[in-house]
A and B are shown apart, each in its own frame.
Chain A
Amino acid sequence: MKKRAITLFINGDEYNITVDADETLTQVIRNQLNLTDLKHCCGRGECGACTVQVEDDRYPTGKKIINSCLSLAAMMDGKRIYTVGGLEKGGTLHPVQEAFVEQGAVQCGFCSGGMIMKTVDILENNAKAGEAEIREGLEGNICRCTGYTKIVEAAKQAGKVMAAGK
Chain B
Amino acid sequence: MSEYSVIGQRIPKLDAREKVTGRCKYAGDMRMEGMLYGKLVRCWDYAHAEVVKIDFSEARKVPGVVKCLGPKDVTRKNYNTTIMKLLVPAVFSDVFGEIADLNIFNARVKHQGDVVCGIIAKTEKAAERAAEKVKIEYKPLPVIMTAEESKKKNAIQFTPLKPGNLAANFPDSFFPNNEYGWNAEDGKTVHQKFKDADLVVEDTFYVPRQKQVQMENHAYVALYDDRGRLNCWTSTQMPKLVQNLIGELFELPLTRVRLVQTPIGGGFGCRLGMIAEPHACAMAMAVPGIPVKIEYLREEDWVASESRASGHFYVKAGFKKDGTPVACYGDYQVLKGGYYTHGSGPPFCTAAFMHGMYKWQAMGCKADIWFNNMVPFGAYRGYGNPENTFGVEQLVDRACNKLGIDPIGWRKKWAKGIGDESWLKGVNFVSSGLDDCVKEAKKKIGWDKKKKQYANQKGVKRRGVGIGIMQHTSGAWPMLLEHSNVIMRLNEDCTVEIMASVSDLGTGAHTAVTQMAAEALGWPIDDVHLKCCDSDVNGFDIGAHASRTIYCVGRAVMQTAADLKKQLLERAAQNLQLKLEDVEFAEDKEIVCTWDSSKRINCRTIAEQSIYSFDDPATGKTIGIPGQMVAHYSDFVKHCSPPFAACCAEVEVDIETGEVKVLCLSNAHDIGKAIHPPSVEGQLEGGAHQGLGYILSEDIYYDDKGLCLNNDFTDYKMFGASDMPAENYVTLVESAPDDIGPFGAKSCGESALMGPIGSVANAIYDAIGIQITDAPVTPERVLAAIKKNGGVK
Q: How far is the CA of A4 from the CA of B105 in the complex (A)?
A: 39
Residues of A within 8 A of B690 (CB): 144
Residues A148 and B215 in contact, CB atoms below 8 Å apart: no
Query: Given A87-B21, A97-B20, A106-B13, does the pair A148, B713 have CB atoms closer than 8 Å?
Result: no
Interface presence of A17 (CB below 8 A): no
Determine if B718 is an interface residue (Cβ-Cβ < 8 Å): yes
Q: A85 within 8 Å of B by Cβ?
A: yes
B324 sits at the interface (CB 8 A): no
- Smallest Cβ distance from B536 to chain A, in angstroms? 24
A36 to B712 CA separation, bound complex (whole angstroms): 23
Chain A residues closer than 8 Å to B417, beta-carbon distance: none
Question: Is the beta-carbon distance between B12 and A112 smaller than 8 angstroms?
Answer: no
Interface residues of chain B: helix, strand, loop or mixed (majority): loop
> Which residues of the other chain, B, contact A103 by a CB distance below 8 angstroms?
678
Contact with B along A99-139 (1 / 0, CB 8 A): 01111101111111100100000000000000110111011
Known contacts A84-B20, A108-B264, A135-B721; A144/B213 CB under 8 A: yes
Within 8 A of A (CB), among B604-623: none
Task: Write the nearest CB–CB distance from B419 to chain A, whole angstroms.
Answer: 34
> Is B15 in contact with chain A by the CB < 8 A criterion?
yes
Dominant SS at the A interface? loop
Contact between chains at B721 and A107 (CB < 8 Å): no
Q: Is the CB of A83 within 8 A of B22?
A: yes
B28: Cβ under 8 A from any A Cβ: yes
Nearest CB of chain A from residue B124's CB, rounded to whole Å? 7
Chain B: CB-nearest residue to A104? B678
Q: B20 contacts A112, CB within 8 Å? A: yes
**Residue B771 CB within 8 A of the other chain:** no
Q: Is A41 an interface residue (CB 8 A)?
A: yes
On whether the beta carbons of B215 and A142 are closer than 8 Å, the reply is yes
In chain B between 723 and 738, which residues have their CB closer than 8 angstroms to a CB of chain A? 724, 726, 728
The answer to whether A139 and B28 touch across the interface, beta carbons within 8 angstroms, is no
CB distance from B748 to the nearest CB of A (A): 13
Contact with B along A131-155 (1 / 0, CB 8 A): 1101110110111111111111000
Given A36-B29, A102-B12, A141-B22 contact (CB < 8 Å): no
Tell yes or no: B688 within 8 A of A by CB: yes
In the complex formed, the residue of B with least CB distance to A22 is B125
Q: How far is the CA of A156 from the CA of B8 in the complex (A)?
A: 24
- Chain A, Cβ-Cβ closest to B24: A109
Which A residue sits closest to B214, measured CB to CB? A144
Q: Interface segment, B177-185, B500-508, B541-549, B640-648? A: B500-508
Contact check, B21 vs A139: say whether CB atoms are below 8 A apart: no
Q: A104 and B682 in contact (CB under 8 A), knowing A47-B713, A84-B20, A109-B15?
A: yes
CA A34 to CA B29, docked complex, whole Å? 8
Smallest distance from the beta carbon of A99 to chain B beta carbons, Å?
9
**Of the candidates B16, B19, B22, B28, which one forms a contact with A85 in the assembled complex, judged by CB atoms under 8 Å apart?**
B22
**Chain A residues with CB below 8 A from B20, complex form:** 84, 93, 97, 100-101, 106, 109, 112, 116
A139 touching B19, Cβ below 8 Å:
no
Would you call B217 an interface residue if the criterion is a C-beta within 8 Å of the partner chain's C-beta atoms?
Answer: yes
| Smallest beta-carbon distance A69→chain B, Å | 10
How far apart are the CA atoms of A30 and B724 in the complex, in Å? 32
A42 to B716, CA, bound (A): 12
Q: Is A40 an interface residue (CB 8 A)?
A: yes
Q: Which of the residues B215, B681, B712 comes within 8 Å of A144, measured between beta carbons?
A: B215
A103 to chain B, nearest CB (A): 7
* A5-32 near B? 1/0 per residue, CB < 8 Å: 0000000000000001000000000110
Contact with A along B414-441 (1 / 0, CB 8 A): 0000000000000000000000000000
What residue in chain B is nearest A112 (Cβ atoms)? B19
Which residues from chain B contact A142 at a C-beta distance below 8 Å? 215, 713, 718, 720
Q: Which chain A residues (42-56) contact chain B, with CB distance < 8 Å?
A: 42-44, 46-47, 49
Name the distance in Å between B486's Cβ and chain A's nearest Cβ.
24
Contact A106 B722 (CB under 8 A): no
Q: How far is the CB of B441 from chain A (nearest CB, A)?
A: 16
The residue in chain B whose Cβ has the minimal distance to the Cβ of A109 is B19
Tell me how many residues of A have a C-beta within 8 Å of chain B.
Answer: 56
Is there contact, CB below 8 Å, between B713 and A145? no
Name the B residues within 8 Å of A134 (CB-CB).
721
Q: Assess whether B26 is interfacial by the CB under 8 Å rule.
A: yes
- B269 at interface (Cβ–Cβ under 8 A)? no
Partner of A108, one of B22, B29, B506: B506
Q: Looking at the complex, which one of B25, B268, B686 makes contact with A147 (CB distance below 8 Å)?
A: B686
How many residue-residue contacts, CB under 8 A, span A and B? 179
Alpha-carbon gap, A88 to B22, bound state (A): 10
Contact of B688 among A37, A41, A147 (CB under 8 A): A147
- Say if the beta carbon of B774 comes within 8 Å of chain A: no
Bound CA–CA A42/B690 (angstroms): 19
Bound CA span A148–B24, Å: 21
CA distance A136 to B26 in the complex (A): 29
A81 within 8 Å of B (CB atoms): no
For residue A144, which residues in chain B have a CB less than 8 angstroms away from its CB?
212-215, 266, 268, 686, 689-690, 718
Cβ of B298 under 8 Å from chain A: yes
Task: Please name all residues of chain B whose beta carbon is closer than 8 Å to the beta carbon of A113 when the two chains form the complex.
Answer: 22
**Which chain B residue shows the least CB distance to A131?**
B726
Query: How far, in Å, is B509 (CB) from chain A's closest CB?
Result: 11
- The contact of B21 among A49, A88, A143, A150, by CB within 8 Å, is A88
Least Cβ–Cβ distance between A117 and chain B, in angstroms: 10
Chain B residue contacts of A20, Cβ below 8 A = 125
Instruction: Given A42-B712, A106-B16, A106-B19, check contact A141 B721 (CB 8 Å).
Output: yes
Chain A contacts of B266 at CB under 8 A?
A: 107-108, 110, 144-145
A residues in contact with B13, CB < 8 Å: 101, 104, 106
Once the chains bind, are B216 and A108 in contact (CB under 8 Å)? yes
Q: Which residues of A contact B10 (CB under 8 A)?
A: 104
Complex interface bits, B243-285 against A, C-beta within 8 A gives 1, otherwise 0: 0000000000000000000011111100000000000000000
Residues on A with beta carbons closer than 8 Å to the beta carbon of B685: 146-150
Contact A146 to B12, CB < 8 A, known contacts A85-B21, A109-B506: no
Contacts of A106 in B (CB 8 A): 13, 15-16, 19-20, 506
A residues in contact with B678, CB < 8 Å: 103-104, 150
Who on chain B is nearest to A93 by CB?
A: B20
For B265, B720, B721, the residue with the greatest tally of chain A CB atoms inside 10 Å of its CB is B721
Q: Which residues of B contact A74 (CB under 8 A)?
A: none
Q: Which residue of A lies closest to B295 (CB)?
A: A40
**Please, how many angstroms separate the alpha-carbon atoms of A95 and B649 in the complex?**
34
Are the CB atoms of A44 and B713 closer together than 8 Å? yes
Q: Measured between alpha carbons, how far is A144 from B693 in the docked complex, in Å?
A: 11
Contact of B751 with A by CB under 8 A = no
Which positions 659-700 of chain B face chain A at CB distance < 8 Å? Answer: 678-679, 681-682, 685-690
Chain B contacts for A135, CB-based, 8 A: 721-722, 724, 726
Q: Which residues of A sit under 8 angstroms from B21, Cβ to Cβ?
A: 37, 84-85, 87-88, 93, 97
Interface residues of B (CB under 8 A from A): 10, 12-13, 15-26, 28-29, 31, 124-125, 212-217, 263-268, 297-298, 505-508, 678-679, 681-682, 685-690, 712-714, 718-722, 724, 726, 728
Which A-B residue pairs are the 4 nearest by beta carbons?
A37-B22, A108-B506, A109-B19, A104-B678
* A and B contact pairs by CB, cutoff 8 A, 28 listed: A30-B29, A37-B22, A39-B26, A39-B216, A40-B28, A40-B217, A41-B215, A93-B20, A97-B20, A101-B16, A104-B12, A104-B508, A106-B13, A107-B507, A107-B686, A108-B214, A110-B214, A110-B216, A113-B22, A116-B20, A135-B722, A138-B722, A144-B266, A144-B686, A146-B685, A147-B685, A149-B724, A150-B682
What would 17 more interface pairs be, CB under 8 Å, given A87-B21, A93-B20, A108-B215?
A34-B31, A42-B712, A43-B298, A47-B215, A83-B22, A84-B20, A85-B22, A100-B16, A101-B12, A104-B678, A107-B682, A110-B216, A110-B506, A116-B20, A142-B215, A145-B266, A145-B682
